[in-house]
Structure 1
Amino acid sequence: MSTRSIFSLCIGAALLVILAPDVGGQTIKMTVGQAGVNPGTSLYFIAQKENLFAKHGLDVKIIETTTTSAVQAMVGGSMQVSLGAGPAFVTATLEGSAPFVVVSSWINVFPYAVVARKEIAKVQDLKGKTGQVGATFGSAPDVALRFGLSKMGLDPEKDVKLTQMARPDWANVIAQIERGDVQFSVLPPPYDRMGQKRGFHTLFSLPELGIPWQQNGEWVQKSYLTGNREAVVRFVRVVADAMKVYFNQKEKTLTYLSEFLGSDRADTEYAYQLFAKWAERNPRPTAESIKNNLAAIKSTTPKAAAADPASFIDTSIVDQLIKEGYFKF
């Protein structure tokens, strides 16, 4: 073999080492829950489209679910990670399950508007009316609606009647409001905009209340994190890469979101811009956002009143990834 051929082979081998994904071993299989359908829950869909799970040595099955169902699956061992908001995981921990922690969280506001039929002009007009929480009782949109109503001066247990559905289906919620089956609900972007086109009134926007709130983040059981840290690290690397696509490749992201949300270009861009404004560039979980999760559930889970928000957080993985150069957008 000539010196030139040997040199070429060496250069080729070096390039393979540089360009190959650093998966650190064999492919890891995971089952992951995705609670909700809005831009804040789109990172896993973006990751699938971009083949990011394979890049980081993961074989991931994503299941659409609710946070309450995800808790049951994770406690039962059939799911390892779930995207979602804190109340269901915090409640389960306080009620005696194996403890949960959030390891990253990129959306830390309530990403919902409270909307109502056109004949309802103000929040006080909701008294005696029926609302749809948009998922199961105890899930993120249910807690958001109850918390928002209480902040606006209504008692969600006495002043209104609330109904639930098996899983988030915002098109169905819009149809229920149109038919008059219910008179109000929460809707995330772009579905609030779709509702406005049908004459719905937006009574108030929850993000504008300025309440820190852990909403879209990765929850795991402490025991799983302890025994399978490498799997969780790889998963959060995937999240970081998907965030990079979201923030740095708008046109590609809009195409993905249109498919994920089932929305047209205008509605998709509206939702994209709002979530880009709300999203954290550094998804390090904060105690303040968990503090409000606890405040929202203390009437139904008394132990929440004395719970330490920091006990539901593990920042070590985000801290590690920042040192590795992730989350630079």
Structure 2
Amino acid sequence: MMLQRWFFTVLLLVTLPASLAAQERYLVAYAGFAGFQAPVWAPKDLGLMAKYGFNGDVVLVPGSVRQIQALQGGSIHFAQADAATAINAINQGADLVMISGSLNSFPYSFMAQKEIRKPGDLVGKKIGILAVGGATETATILALKAWNVPRQSVTIFPAGDPVARIVALSTRAIDATVLSYPDINEALRVGMHALADMSEMKEASFPMNVMVARRSFVEKNREAVKRFQQAYAEGTHQFINDKEKGLAVLTKRLRQKNSKAIEETYQYFASKFSFPTRISPVGLRNTLELLSQRPGAKIDMNVNKYVDESTLDDLEREGFFKRLAGKS
């Protein structure tokens, strides 16, 4: 019996396509459970990684800062992070590059205690963020600048993930924070209100979802990267254009089980995601300019230092995006 099992195992390995038998398993990280993580979930949940021959799985690595650390350490291969965190790391010498993007505006609302009725009321208040150097801090600073509220007039500090920040709001440990769907609904439920929808602010052009990988990995594994780009792009496209599939992805992945909240999350992000999955040049310039204004910052303004969309260029020339768009 043992000999028979050994024979069939050897036979299976011999008859498998060489590329499949030897293919490495790639890990793609998402940062949390907000709706804007859907472009990472959809390729896996809708079978698109398998469709394009990309042997991958998705893993939770909380927060963009930790994702960047995991990429640099080689424990993951791709991460959907925000542009500010990626740029900061690359500018400090990290072997990283942004290869695509699926959301080019802030998905946040600025949630605050009910007595904070206008931006000027934030003076002297405490604002919670996820992490220093990440998207929530960048969004907060940008909003304060747009409102002419001096950065020094408020206290900004890390207060945990969205759930922790909602608890902090409810206990008045913080006075305001930025949240996305479906967490906005929970903040409203505990008595907060939306001071502003940041996606409607003219300063909101910001690459919130950028796919990041090690530059050396991209150069050595171009075919695998291209296969991933196809799955990522079609996942985003299907989410935008097929409500049933989009809702199925969110229902599976969100910690929120309220069907109305899931529906609202879908409606919001289906209209915000980008296709083709490219990083906005305007948003990238905005981010570079914003980061360069921080005290002591020395930011290289050369976009090519941070972005390599050459695999997307290949797909564009091959008509990939036109074919996908033609199916909708």
TM-score range, shorter chain: 0.7 to 0.9
2:77 to 77, 80, 89: 80
Structure 1: distance between partners of 2:185 and 2:60: 27
Q: Hey, what's the Cα distance between the residues in 1 that align with 2:94 and 2:42?
A: 32
Q: How do 1:208-287 residues align onto structure 2 when only pairs under 5 Å count?
A: 208-210=200-202, 211-263=204-256, 264-287=258-281
- Between the aligned partners of 1:248 and 1:257, the Cα distance in structure 2 is 14
Matched, 1:201 2:198: no
Query: Out of 89, 92, 97, which is 2:89 matched to?
Result: 92
Segments of structure 2 that go 5 or more residues without pairing to the other structure are 1-18
For 1:259 and 1:201, the matched residues in 2 are separated by: 28
Question: What is the CA–CA distance in structure 1 between the aligned matches of 2:214 and 2:319, rounded to whole Å?
Answer: 24
Offset from partner CA, 1:16-59 (integer Å, 9 cap, x none): xxxxxxx8885331122212322221122222322332332313
The alignment status of 1:161 with 2:161, answered yes or no, reads no
> Partner of 1:297 in structure 2?
291
In structure 1, stretches of 5+ residues that fail to align are: 1-22
TM superposition shift of 1:155: 2.5
Q: CA deviation at 1:182?
A: 0.7
TM-score, normalising length from structure 2?
A: 0.85
Aligned to 2:141: 146
Contact 2:105 2:208 in 1 (8 A): yes
Structure 1 residues 239 and 202 mapped into 2: Cα distance closer, same or farther (>3 Å)? same
Question: Is 1:109 equivalent to 2:105 in the alignment?
Answer: yes
Give the Cα–Cα distance (whole angstroms) in 2 for the partners of residues 218 and 196 of structure 1: 31
Residues 40-95 of structure 1, C-alpha deviations (whole Å, 9 max, x = no match): 21122222322332332313252322211122222222222110111111111212
Aligned to 1:57: 54
Please name the residue that 1:39 is paired with.
35
CA RMSD of aligned residues (A): 2.2
Given that 1:103 and 1:313 are in contact with CA atoms closer than 8 Å, whether structure 2 keeps it comes out as: yes
- Cα distance in 2, alignment partners of residues 86 and 60 from structure 1: 23
Please report the TM-score for the alignment, with normalisation by the length of structure 1.
0.85
DSSP 3-state at the match of 1:213:
strand
Q: Structure 1: which amino acid aligns with 2:47?
A: N
Letter in 2 for 1:216: N
Residue identity over aligned pairs, in percent, reads 24
**Which amino acid counterpart does residue 314 of structure 1 have in structure 2?**
D
Q: Distance in 2 between matches of 1:125 and 1:258?
A: 37
CA offsets per residue over residues 250-281 of structure 1, 9 Å max, x none? 12321321332223121122121121222112
Matched residue of 2:25: which SS?
Answer: strand
Question: 1:138-167 CA deviation, whole Å, 9 max, x = no partner?
Answer: 1111211121122111223x111122145x
Q: Secondary structure at the match of 1:137?
A: coil
* Aligned partner of residue 71 in structure 1, secondary structure: helix
Q: Give the number of equivalent residue pairs.
A: 302
Match of 2:179 among 187, 194, 211: 187
